[in-house]
Amino acid sequence: MKFGNSPSEWRHLLPRPGPDSHKHVRGRLGVVSGGALSTGAARLSARAGLRVGAGLVKVFCPPDAAPVLPPSLEAVMLASFATPEQLQALADPMDAVVIGPAAGLVESTALNLAALARTGAALVVDADALTLFRDRPEQLFAWLDRDDVLTPHEGEFERLFPGLLAAEGREGAAQEAARLAGAIVVLKGAATVIAAPDGRLAVNGDGSPWLATAGSGDVLAGMIGGLIAQHMDSFDAARAAVWIHSEAARRFGPGLISEDLPQGLPAVLADLLNGSGSV
């Protein structure tokens, strides 16, 4: 079933806090950070998760990154881990976890992903956690559930699903990839395609060229994770996040860097939730 990606299709599904809400009710998001020299991507994802409404965001980092992260993540909790088993224990209470941004193309990333797959958290798998499996995609797919989300750009997609884009085009390739992976696939681009393994498909025709900047995908991964953590259906969370991400970039315009995107989210969300403004 093919959907458009107009806010009218998913606006009513956006999470709203109630009078008795507290941070745990509003959803718990985990973000796995890279090492001390690679923490920026996790910062972007974590801040984006907070800005879309997750009540609690915790960054899980290797020990060498622990002294680096706190000064710039005032509202984010921090926990370090030295083994996949420790990461699994930390992630167990989370509703969703983002892994991949600047995680490193090293075997420990695969082991960490396997550990996360043993938790009850929905996974948003991005960047290095996708590329790492280019020669063994079936291993990745075996760890995924239907509420997990893969967020490849075209290069990452081609590494996991070689030849599909050329054979099927973007929409057909995303649908087949979702079926093969058994998870949601967000094929990023000027017209981002969101596909679910049950056949649902949405195309976001409102992409912004200002998103062509380093780190914008890390922000999107955090947004998707933040909405899923609030118990939004993963397909709907992905298509809502894609549209909101593009709209925030469109409103900012020239000079946008990825650090600007989380700060632009509250205004877009307010218009969506209030049914006002330009949306």
Q: Which amino acid is at 200?
A: R
Contacts of 162-171 spanning 24+ positions with Cβ under 8 A = 171/2, 171/195, 171/201, 171/203
Whether 192 has a binding-site annotation, put simply, is yes
Residues 220, 241 contacting (CB under 8 angstroms): yes
**Annotated binding-site residue? 191:** yes
153 is in an annotated binding site: yes
Q: Map 16-76 to HEC letters.
A: CCCCCCCCCCCCEEEEECCCCCCCHHHHHHHHHHHHCCCCEEEEEECHHHCCCCHHHCCCC
240 annotated among ligand-binding-site residues:
no
Q: Are strands 122-125 and 77-80 parallel, antiparallel or unpaired?
A: unpaired
217 is in an annotated binding site: yes
Answer whether 156's CB lies under 8 Å from 129's CB: no
Q: Is 114 annotated as a binding residue?
A: no
Q: How far separated are the first and last CA of the chain, in Å rounded? A: 24
The answer to whether 120 is a known ligand-binding residue is no
Residue list for the binding site for AMP: 188-192, 217
Residue list for the binding site for (6S)-NADPHX: 41, 153, 218
Residue list for the binding site: 41, 153, 188-192, 217-218
